[in-house]
Structures are given as structure tokens and as C-alpha cells.
Amino acid sequence: FWLIVGTRRRRPEEPPLENGIIPYLGCIFQFSSNPLEFLRARKKKYGQIVTCKLAGRFIHFLMDPLSYHSMIRQGKYFDWKKFHLSSSAKAFGHDSMDPSDGYTTENVHQTFIKTLQGDSLESLIENMMENLQLVMLQSNALKVASREWQTDGLYAFCYRVMFESGYLTLFGKELSSQGDMNAAKQEAQRALILNTLENFKEFDKIFPALVAGLPIHFFKAAYRAREKLAEGLLHEHLKNRGNMSDLISLRMFLNDTLSTFDDMGKAKTHLSLLWASQANTLPATFWSILYTIRNPDALRAATDEVHRVLEKSGQKVSLDGKHISLKREELEDMSVLDSIIKEALRLSSASMNIRVATEDFTFHLDGKESYNIRKGDFIALYPQMVHLDPEVYEDPLTFKYDRFLDENGREKTTFYYKGRKLKYYYMPFGSGLGQCPGRFFAVNEIKQFLCLLFSYFEMELVDKNVKLPTLDQSRAGLGILQPTHDIEFKYRLKSP
Ligand code: HEM
């Protein structure tokens, strides 16, 4: 009986089908132990597309990069929001934000675009620049008072600096600690953020299990951490904070006017944004800086670029309290840092872009092939297949800091597969309409972090020949992978 339940027969004109050998679960174990190898083997066997049963779901994996644009072109058959919205409700524990479920009438994706791009992006960038310098130089987050070398884990360092700065940029600062900040109050605020950081780590550890559908009650510590995080984001607390991002202030207003969410439900929608804004950015920052300091050519090119841009804007690095300010156009003028970040993300990203078929339809792929798809099926892209394909990126496992620079030092956009120019060769932020709305802010904040690090600090790896940590595959499918262990480095303030 179990062997029949949940299996399906391939109908004419449907993609090749693998039901797997385990009832219900299908191919999930083979897939999750190494998604890239699993899909590469299927691509060899079947070509452009295959259907696999994974934990009761039938997922069509589109494996040929030349066909990615077919999915974007036939967008009307694909719903990219359904999967996001249901995963968010499952993981963060708020009511559905899908207007068709009746708890809110907000078009949340529109809100994200409006408040993470355009004019709102300028103020995000400005506040992040201030907050990064506050955390790096003025708070006690780093022990920078003396010019002694400090040893630390590089991931722990990136995590602390980016988490605290990103948190303050999105959620603002307590009103009582603005202006004349007394040192004790400032430290109390920091202690709260550090506590939030610990809860975030605890919750984030089990995130893959939550997305896979396990109930949070299996994980007592993570459940407590999630509730604590949400409590800190209750509207009654957020109302006492100033200089909040447009994103959070608009979401608070829309939660209060367009939704029937209760207080904790509203707070949990903010928690989903805290997670979205940090979970990928933290490891992305780590990989960007680690690859750069291991590679003398990259480090030289990056520091030269930072000096050039600072000089052009007439600014000098000083430790007398005057902060560096770099505007969006100045950050966008940094093509070397852009290429470094792209290359680091290419090597560390393992996201999966999932769409749900809105009706039965015929899916036309590149060339002459077409396949029938059933309503409700999932269609997925696994961009790592392109990111690590030696035909697209020569020597794909090697970090080449200038891989995304053309001969004039500008952004390179020409990458080929089977002799044809690819439209979709770089997708850590997803593709099409469902792309990450925070991607411009994300790249800018990593650039800001690198600029400030190169400007204010000297740094070295403790072991110059240290091996790269491996990628933690337990998060494959969710975005930028974390390192399996940290790397020791030392840093100190540069001489004035
Ligand atoms: C969604 C990647 C940083 C906000 C996504 C998606 C990906 C992604 C892959 C899903 C897209 C899809 O399924 O097609 C990343 C990476 C980041 C990053 C790699 C950093 C390196 C950020 C930041 C913010 C942000 C800094 C906000 C401040 C969001 C939001 C969504 C999202 C709100 C959900 C969009 C929606 O459902 O409408 N991100 N992201 N992300 N990201 Fe990012």
C-alpha cells in the first residue's frame, strides 16, 4: 500500500520521473546529501529537465542554463510567492501573509521593493555607514582602544559587526540612547543586541529543519529563542526606537491597518525580515573578506580601489571621530569590490529558486523540447549548477578576484554555455520577479564593511597558509552557505 501512495506514473509528454525507492520520501536522502552531485548525475542521464519526488512533493528540476529564461518568459504559469509566503509562516510562526488567506490585504513584495530600493536605499546606505563605524570604532564590540594586535575568529568578527550594524540600521536605536548617549545606556543597548545575536544563532541553527516542515516544538531552545527575538520586536518596543528604516516603519503601519495579526504575529513578521536581512549577508561578508585576505593580488586591487575612491571624494581616514561617508554612486564606482563579492557569492551560494505551477500547462524549453506540467507541481532551479559549471566558469572552484571584470576594468557580463551567451549566469539573489528585493543593499553593505576594514585596520590570518573551511551543506537550498568552522585572524587599528 505505502509503495503506491504518493508515487505517480509518468504521463505522456511529461518530464522523466524519479519516484525514488523510499515511500513518501522519494529521493530526499540522495538529494540532500549532495544536491549538486545528484542533479549533475540526473542532467547527464536525462538532459534539460527531470521530475523527482522529494518528501512527498514532485519537483521538476530545470537543469539546462539555456532554458532558465524559458521559466521567466512563461512567468504567468509560475507562482513564485506561494512558496516564500508559506515557508515564512512555517518558520517564523506568523499567520499567512498571502492576501488570499484573508489575514492581511498587504502586497508585501511591493512593500519590500518600495522600501529597500530607490530613495529608501540611499538612507539605508547612509545609516549603515554610520552604524558600522559606530560598532567598529566607538562601541566596545572590538577592543580597538590600544594598538595591540587582537586575535579573533574571522566569522565571529564579521557576525558581530554586521549583525549589530544591520540590526540598528533596520530597527533604529532606542530613543533614550540617541543624542547625548551616556556610556552606561549605550552599553546596556549593546548587551541587548548581543543577547539578540545569541538568540538569532540559536534559532538560525534549526532553520533548515523548519523549512523542511518539522515543528518548532521539537526544538525547545530554538523555540524559546524565536519567542524572545519576537518579543524584542513587538510594536510597543519598536515605537521607542528612532531612525528606523522605511522598511520596518511601513510594515508596522501596514500590520496595524491592513492585517488581523495579533501582537506577537506582527512581531514575527518583523523577525522574518531580521532573518532575511542577516542570514545570507553574514556568511557572504565572511567569504568576501576571507577570499580577499588570502589572495595578495585581490587585497592589493581592493585597497587601491578604496584609496582611489576616498581620494576622489576628498576624504582622509582619521581616528578623531570624523567618520568616512560614501554615497551610493561612490560605492557603485567600485568595480573591483563588486567583482570580489560576486566571486565570493558564486563560490558559496547554494540557493534553490522554487515556483509553483498555477495550472496544467505545456512548458516550452530552449530549442524544440516541451513538457507537460501539472497544476500544483514545483519547478526549481539550482543555480549552483551554473555557478560551478566549468563550461561557464573556467576552473570553477578557484577564486579569481577579477573574474567579473572586463578588459576595461568594468563589470563583465559575457559568459557562455555551448557557445551561446548566457542571460542567467549569476543568481545568488534568485531570478525574475522573485529576486531578492534587498540585493542592492546587501552588496552595498558588504562593500562598506570591506572599505572600512581596509581603511581603519591592518589584518592578517594567524596561519597564512590556512586551508579554506568547507561549506556547511546542511543549509544547501537556503542561500549562502556558512563555513563548517571559523578561521583565526588578527587585527589592529592602523597608525594615524
Ligand atoms: C529573498 C538572497 C540579503 C531581503 C531572497 C531570496 C534569495 C535571497 C535567494 C529568494 C529569492 C527567490 O526565491 O527567488 C539574498 C542574499 C543576500 C540577501 C544572497 C546577501 C548576500 C538581503 C538583505 C535583505 C533581504 C540585506 C533586506 C534588508 C529579502 C526579502 C526577501 C528576500 C524581504 C523575500 C522577498 C519576497 O518574498 O518578496 N533573498 N538576500 N535580503 N530577501 Fe534577500
ipTM for the complex?
Answer: 0.99
Q: Is 276 in the pocket of ligand 1 (CB under 6 A)?
A: yes
The predicted structure's pLDDT at residue 6: 62
Q: Is 265 in the pocket of ligand 1 (CB under 6 A)?
A: no
Q: Which residue's CA is minimally distant from atom 37 of ligand 1?
A: 84
Q: Which residue's CA is minimally distant from atom 6 of ligand 1?
A: 436
Task: Identify each DSSP E strand in 319-377 by its residue range.
Answer: 349-351, 353-357, 361-364, 370-373
Q: What pLDDT tens digit does each residue of the chain (496 aa) get?
A: 334 456 788 888 999 999 888 877 888 888 988 999 999 999 999 999 999 998 888 999 999 999 999 988 899 999 988 888 988 999 999 999 999 999 999 999 999 999 999 999 999 999 999 999 999 987 766 666 678 899 999 999 999 999 999 999 999 998 875 555 677 777 888 889 999 999 999 999 999 999 888 999 999 999 999 999 999 999 999 999 999 999 999 999 999 999 999 999 999 999 999 999 999 999 999 999 999 999 999 999 999 999 999 999 999 888 877 899 999 999 999 999 999 999 999 999 999 999 999 999 999 999 889 999 999 999 999 999 999 999 999 999 999 999 999 999 999 999 999 999 999 999 999 988 889 999 999 999 999 999 999 999 999 999 999 999 999 998 899 999 999 999 999 999 988 7
The predicted structure's pLDDT at residue 378: 94
Please report where in the chains the cell 563588486 appears, as a residue: 338
Retrieve residue 334's grid coordinates.
567600485
Three-class DSSP category at 460: strand
Q: Quote the CA–CA distance of 239 and 233 in Å, as a whole number.
A: 10
Cα 126 to middle of ligand 1, angstroms: 20
Question: Could you give the count of Cα atoms lying within 13 Å of 12 in the half-sphere of its Cβ?
Answer: 0
Q: Is 121 in the pocket of ligand 1 (CB under 6 A)?
A: no
Three-class DSSP category at 31: helix
The predicted structure's pLDDT at residue 140: 65
Taking a C-beta distance cutoff of 8 angstroms, is the pair 166, 135 a contact?
no
Taking a C-beta distance cutoff of 8 angstroms, is the pair 472, 286 a contact?
no
What spatial distance separates the first Cα and last Cα of the chain, rounded to whole Å?
75
> For residue 420, what is the enclosing H or E element?
strand 420-421
Mutate to test the pocket of ligand 1, among 429, 444, 445 (most ligand atoms within 8 A of CB): 429
Is 90 annotated as ligand-binding? yes
Instruction: Give the pairing of strands 49-54 and 17-18.
Output: parallel
Q: Quote the CA–CA distance of 232 and 236 in Å, as a whole number.
A: 9
Q: Quote the CA–CA distance of 467 and 291 in Å, as a whole number.
A: 11
Q: Quote the CA–CA distance of 256 and 239 in Å, as a whole number.
A: 13
Instruction: Give the pairing of strands 150-153 and 488-493.
Output: antiparallel
- Residue 473 — φ and ψ, nearest 5°? -75, -5
Retrieve residue 92's grid coordinates.
517564523
> pTM for this structure?
0.95
Residue 301, CA distances (Å) to 116, 208, 254 in order: 30, 37, 45
Q: Is 277 in the pocket of ligand 1 (CB under 6 A)?
A: yes
Q: Is 116 in the pocket of ligand 1 (CB under 6 A)?
A: yes
The predicted structure's pLDDT at residue 406: 97
Nearest partner of 50 among 26, 74, 22, 72, judged by Cα: 26
Taking a C-beta distance cutoff of 8 angstroms, is the pair 80, 355 a contact?
yes
SS3 content of the chain, % helix, strand, coil (to 5): 50, 15, 35
Taking a C-beta distance cutoff of 8 angstroms, is the pair 457, 492 a contact?
yes
Taking a C-beta distance cutoff of 8 angstroms, is the pair 473, 481 a contact?
yes
Residue 161, CA distances (Å) to 135, 140, 164, 286 in order: 6, 11, 6, 11
Q: Is 429 in the pocket of ligand 1 (CB under 6 A)?
A: yes
DSSP letter string, 70-111: HHHHTGGGEESHHHHHHHHHHHH-PPP--GGGSSB---HHHH
Cα 461 to middle of ligand 1, angstroms: 30
Q: Is 479 in the pocket of ligand 1 (CB under 6 A)?
A: yes
DSSP letter string, 266-325: HHHHHHHHHHHHHTTHHHHHHHHHHHHHH-HHHHHHHHHHHHHHHHHTT----SSSPPP-
Q: Is 172 in the pocket of ligand 1 (CB under 6 A)?
A: no
Taking a C-beta distance cutoff of 8 angstroms, is the pair 340, 289 a contact?
no
Is 436 annotated as ligand-binding? yes
- Residue 18 — φ and ψ, nearest 5°? -120, 110
Taking a C-beta distance cutoff of 8 angstroms, is the pair 224, 94 a contact?
no
Taking a C-beta distance cutoff of 8 angstroms, is the pair 154, 489 a contact?
yes
